[in-house]
Amino acid sequence: MVIKLVRHGESLGNTGRVVPQISGDPDIPLTKHGKEQAKKVSTVIGREFIKSSLIYCSPYKRTQETLDEVLKASHLSRTELRIYEDPRLREVDFGYGDIEAQQEQRKVHGWFYYRYEGGESPADCYDRTSVFLESMMRQVTRRNQDTVLIITHGITIRCFVMRFLHLTVKQFNKIKNPDNCDVITIASNCDISEPDFTSQKWAVKGLKLYGSIE
């Protein structure tokens, strides 16, 4: 099995032109540059991979627009593919308070565990990502599928990798957030050359790390 996880293209939130707590995080769109990133990443993923895969996507506007641009550049339409919108793939909810004012508390409690006011922690994201992975694997087995494409968000990708490879919190903290439209591939050891790291029979490529994760 091969899983490709893609972070959405550059959004207005990434540029600082809108504030999620004010504008509503789910409705933040891609920038023009973000749409170009999504078009280009379609060639990295490959048309045949896209066409043959089970596709899962966060319901947020920036991920949906990323998928639309990928399909457009690949000359594919949603009607001819197996695409599933799944809220469990949404971005971590950073709440409605002042994020900067909470940084000292976050240092005390740990970045993975700290839950923002009215929001989530990466640990919360890990829990729902774990549930998503279980249902995804049931569908993969039922359909006898061997390729999966997931378009989602940076922390969600890191939580997915953590759960799939059974990483520790310490190892999770060594994974940098993916850049916009980075592609992270999970496959068996024998199918990935020069992986970023391996865990049992699985290997990962495309992540950026703070030092070694072993």
Give the tens place of pLDDT for each residue, 77-124: 999 999 999 999 999 998 776 677 777 777 777 789 988 888 899 999
Token pair, residue 114, equals 């700290």
Catalytic residue annotation = 8, 91
Pairing status of strand 147-152 against strand 82-85:
unpaired
The single-letter DSSP state of residue 60 is: S
Asked if 91 and 62 touch (Cβ cutoff 8 Å), the reply is no
List domains and CATH numbers for the chain: 2-192 (3.40.50.1240)
What are 11-61's pLDDT values in tens digits?
998 998 777 666 788 999 999 999 999 999 999 999 999 999 999 999 999
